Structures are given as C-alpha cells and as structure tokens.
Structure 1
Amino acid sequence: MARSRSELLTVPEVLNELGGVSRRTFYRWRELRIAPRCIRLPNGELRVRRDALDDWLQDRAEGAV
C-alpha cells in the first residue's frame, strides 16, 4: 500500500518508524522543540504528518564529506 505524504501518524506509529524510540524521549524532544512538528487534534491527541516526519528525518541525515 502506497503511503500518502499527508498521512497522519499516531505517536506510537512515529515511535515505531524511529526504530523504537521511547514515548518519554519523544515528549522530551517536544519540550526541547526538536521533535517533528505535530498536530494536536480537538480530542488532545497528537498526529505527525508523514511528510513532516520524512522532512525531519532528512534534515538530520549525515552525509559523507
């Protein structure tokens, strides 16, 4: 199944995509404003757009010099 770049991911899905980063670490990153941009839904839950996560990961990629 092809993933849409506007797909909304739940926090557990993001943690899984990041290789099992802990929920505590993710929320700490949010406090430090270094986590991927999130959307807070009216029910208080967070979502991360697929494209925002992909861009965030790309920004952190280290290339060979």
Structure 2
Amino acid sequence: MSTPKMLKLPEVLAELNMSRAAFYRMRARGQGPRIVKLPNHQIRIRRADLDKWLIGHEEASVA
C-alpha cells in the first residue's frame, strides 16, 4: 500500500494563489479542503483531498 502524497500548507497556498489568512478564514467557515493535523501541530493536506475539493468547486461554463 503506497503512502498518499501529503502537501505542506505553503505548497497548497502557492497552488491556490491564496494567503495564509484567507485560507484560515475559509477553513473557519467550513469551506476548505480536509486537513491532517500532525502531532507537532503542522498541517498537511492529501493531494487527493485537495483535488477532490477543487473538483467540487468547479463551475459549469454558460454557453
């Protein structure tokens, strides 16, 4: 069984082009991707969870 790809918060913020403060505001509203809190209080986000969250926020184009 392979280990899932875990992204550090700065990697996620860079991919989303989002500030840390905006990310935490979004999380506080319950709108962010699933996170994993490590014992040292750092945050990781599984690549699959981020991709799933992004797909859930796609909008259909209007023709």
TM-score (normalizing by structure 2) = 0.88
Unpaired runs of 5+ residues, structure 1, are none
Deviation at 1:40, TM superposition (A): 0.1
Does residue 64 of structure 1 match 2:55? no
Which structure's CA Rg is the greater one?
2
% identical equivalent positions: 47
Partner of 2:8: 10
Aligned partner of 2:27 among 27, 30, 54: 30
Question: Number of residues paired by the alignment?
Answer: 61
Which runs of at least 4 in structure 1 moved beyond 4 Å after TM superposition?
A: none
Deviation at 1:60, TM superposition (A): 0.3
TM-score (normalizing by structure 1) = 0.86
Q: RMSD over aligned Cα, in angstroms? A: 1.7
Unpaired runs of 5+ residues, structure 2, are none
